[in-house]
Structures are given as structure tokens and as C-alpha cells.
Amino acid sequence: MTSINKNLEWKPIQIILLLTLVQLFISLLTDGFALSFDEAMWHYIGRNWFRHGMTPYTGGVDNKSPLIFAVFGISDRLFGVNYWFPRVLGTVIQSIGIYYLFLIVKSKWSHSTAVLTALIYGLSLMWRSTDGKLVSLTETYSITFLIISIRVFTSSTKAYAPFVAGLWASLSLGFRISASFGIGAIFIFRFVNKDRQASMKFLGGLIFGVFLLMILAIFAGIHPSDFIQFAFIENFGKGSATDHSFLWRLENLSNGLFYSEMILFLPGVVAYLFIRKKWDFFVVWLLCEFIGLNIIGIYARPHFKNLLPSLSVMTAVSIIPLVEIFGLSPKKIAIAVCIIFFPKLLEPFVSFKKIFRAPADKSEQNCTPPYSSADDLAKKQLGLWIKANTDTTEKVLVAGYGAIVQAYSERIAPSIYFNVTQTQKAKQHFINDINKTKPGMILVPGFSSYTVEVSDDLRNFIDEFTNKNYSLTGCKYGYKIYRLNK
């Protein structure tokens, strides 16, 4: 009988180095070599914070933590507007998470099981269905710190270990409130298994860590009420990011789980449940994260990353018996895992070719019917055009979802809602801001997605406002350009 433990002694540093190189290839060779929509929002807010002294929620809002704004603010402070630094940093953080998951599995099962887990987890993080190229997002930080918390809690025999694990968990929560579901799995599993003293120490560390983060935020000039309003309350209600019908949720959940690479985990999960025949920590972790995924109910691709650590462990554990029972070659099994789970992406190869040729001038291309939507490169070029054709102190408004344009323009919007938010309170706040501070330039998309995605009342307001106070001076990249009347 073949033993995988004797034949699969790949070193974790080799695996993680290889995964890191593949991740960098995918992340940096991205279409347009530009910030993504989410990255652009956070860069804009972070830049206003670190460059102009405008703290989060006063210099721009998004439903995220100040910690991620700080990451992008530091990136801007060091290198200006760029997409590569946050992704390189995110890749490093992600690689640390892979290593700590390896340690968790090795301590519980075997080196070989840990190797398979690291391969499966590391490769699945790069899938298109989990937005693998966007390694700079909050999920990367939150999941890594949660994995470290689990490792500290489960491996150390020191009396203070649960408290330290709670501190790491608070950092995970600091990047994403939704980390509370994974944190809940740790607490519930330990508490139910009568390790209540350790559970309370863990809870104490968590509360203390959150308290420290709140103190730091207050010292930075961030009001707790602003954080609660913009990072939490605005996620719910009519017009919010979670305002979707049950049918929409069901369809997007199905697409995310069953019509994507995520389906590869299904056999492993079923086998794991039959092999283990009990609800161990990884089953509880998966269940809690799945509940969290559905409570949030947005089903954005990166949200599925929260399921990956537990799914990867369960799949790796399920593969081991195939080697032991059927005498399969361990190395061939590992190679098969790499082939099956390897991300199938064309974008990096297409982008690699573009390095060697200058981008074509497409500024007029989308300015005639049917006004095709601008891609990320076009939005980047439009932002650079705005920067070259406006004063540094001039306010600029990009109507709709124009975060990428706004970030590359390096101009401040006249409202904290620089990127449209469609709750009733946010819309009224936006209208009041625009009426109070008229921007020197307004850009209005001509493409159909603007009509579909932005509510009638906001579009009508922008149309009436520009017709009354502005002159149409041209069109670039599908955006109509209006200048304030003198």
C-alpha cells in the first residue's frame, strides 16, 4: 500500500513561493494595468486621507473599514496612483495565510495533507469565480488574520494563547465585519466542546482588540458614529448594496457555487462528511461562513473566498484515502490536484502582449451611438486627461459609478458620495452637496449601463443641474463633458 506521507515531502516554502509567483502573474498582468472599481474607491478615500487630511467618511465614503483605506493611502503616499503596490502587498499577506493554514492541517493530520491543502487553497484563491486577480481586497487581510487566530488558538498550550488569538481575530474583524461569522465558529466550537475558559479568554482578546482599534480610529479623527452609519447601516435598506429579491439571491448563489469552479469542492465535502461522520471544527467553520454569505446576500465573487479555507481542508483530507486504499502515486495525485484546481485565465496572457505596445487612442470611440461602456483602461486614460485639463484645486464630479476615473484624475469630488449610493438618505445628501458646491467639471456617461444602474431621480437631477449651470464641451471615452458656466 502506497503511503502519501513517505512520498509527498514537498516543502511548504517551495509551494508558497510558486503560488506567490503565479498570483503575481495573475494580479499584475491585469487588463488595462489599472485600479479596479473597488480599488479605485479605496485609493480615492485613502489618498484624500493621507494627502489632503480628509479622514474616511468625510473625504469620501464606502462601506469598508478605515484599515483598507489606510493601505491604499500609504500606497498613494509612496508611489502615487498605482495598482501594483496594494496587489503585491495583498499577495504577501495571502501567502502568509496559506502558510498558516498549512501549519493548522499539518498539526492535525499530516505533512502531506497540509501540502494538498496549501495547493488547493492557494490555487482556488486565484480563480475567476473568486476574483483571483484582486488580491488587494479586504477578504485577503480578513481571512489571513482569521487563519492566524485559529492557528494560535489551536497550537499553543500557553494560558494566554486564546487571548492572543482573540487579538488576531479583532484584526480580521477590523478589515471586514463579516469576519464575525468565522470568529463565531471558533467561539461556538470551543464553547460547545466545554473549553469555556479558553473561549472566554478568546472573547476577551477579541473585545480588547476591537477597543484598541476604536481608540486608534478616534485618535485619527474618525467618529465612531460615521463608521456605524457608512460601514454598516448603509449596507441595508432600500437602494443599498443588499437590496435584492429572493429570486435574485437564489440565482446568484447558484451561479457562484454550482456554475463556477466552486463546484470542484462538492465531491470532497461530501466525502469528508462520510469519512469524518461528525461535526468537527471545519464543518462548523464552513457552515458559519455559508450562513454569513447568505445573510450579506450580495454574492460578489470575492465573498466566496471566505468558504475556501474550510473547503480546501475538507477536500485535501478526502483525497488522502484514495492514495492509501488504491495505491495511487502521491506525486501524481498532487500534480492532478494542480491541474484540476489551476486557474483557467486568459487575461494575463492577453495583457502580457500589451506591455510591448502603446495603447491606442480610443477617446472618441465610445462617443457615438450606441455609446459602448468604457473599459478600465479607458477610464484610467480619461482620469489622466481630466488631471491634465483641470486645476489641482478644481472639483470634479463623475456621475454614476465613476470611481476609476475619479481616482486617476487626482481631483476631489464635491460630495462624499463621489461614487453613487442609492439609499434615500445618501441621495439627498448628494444633491445637497452638489447644490452647495458646484464642481468645475461634470462627466456624465452616455452608455446604457448608466441608465440601468442609476435611479431615475438621480439621473434627472444631474441632467437638470447640468442644463442649468453647465455647457457641454465635448465627449471622451463615452462620457459627456460639461464645464461650469462662468
CB 384 within 8 A of CB 460: no
Q: What is the pLDDT of residue 380?
A: 94
Are 399 and 427 in contact by the 8 Å Cβ rule? The answer is no
Low-confidence stretches of the chain (pLDDT < 50) are 1-2, 5
Asked whether the beta carbons of 463 and 472 are under 8 A apart, the reply is no
How many whole angstroms from its chain centre is CA 69? 12
Amino acid occupying residue 363 = S
Half-sphere exposure of 428 (CA within 13 A, CB side): 3
Return the SS3 of 92. Answer: helix
pLDDT of 95 reads 98
CA separation for the pair 115, 130 (Å, rounded): 21
Q: What is the pLDDT of residues 212-223, one digit of tens each?
A: 999 999 999 998
Per-residue model confidence (pLDDT) at position 191: 85
Beta carbons of 409 and 393 less than 8 angstroms apart: no
CA–CA dist 468, 486 (Å, integer):
12
Instruction: Check residue 471 and report its DSSP letter.
Output: E
- The DSSP result for 267-317, as a single string, is HHHHHHHHHH-S--HHHHHHHHHHHHHHHH----GGGGGGGHHHHHHHHHH
Q: Which helix (H) or strand (E) holds 421?
A: none
Query: How far, in Å, are 122, 282, 307 from residue 269 at the CA level?
Result: 18, 10, 12
- Asked whether the beta carbons of 35 and 407 are under 8 A apart, the reply is yes
Chain segment 423-474, per-residue pLDDT in tens: 888 899 999 999 999 999 999 999 888 999 899 999 999 999 999 999 999 9
Question: What span, in angstroms and rounded, lies between the C-alpha atoms of 61 and 42?
Answer: 9
The pLDDT score that the predictor gives to residue 143 is 98
State residue 54 phi and psi, 5-degree precision: -95, 105
Quote the CA–CA distance of 332 and 322 in Å, as a whole number: 12
- Alpha-carbon distance 425 to 422, whole Å? 8
pLDDT score recorded for residue 347 = 78
Q: Residue 7: what pLDDT?
A: 57
Residue 354: per-residue pLDDT: 73
In the numeric block, which cell numbers belong to residue 3? 503511503
Is 236 in a helix, a strand, or coil?
coil
First and final C-alpha spacing in the chain? 85
Q: What is the dihedral of CA 241, 247, 251, 253, to 10 degrees?
A: 60
The three grid cell numbers given for residue 49, joined into one nine-digit string: 486621507
With 0-12 CB in 10 A as exposed, 13-18 as middle and 19+ as buried, what is 461? middle
pLDDT at 338 (0 to 100): 92
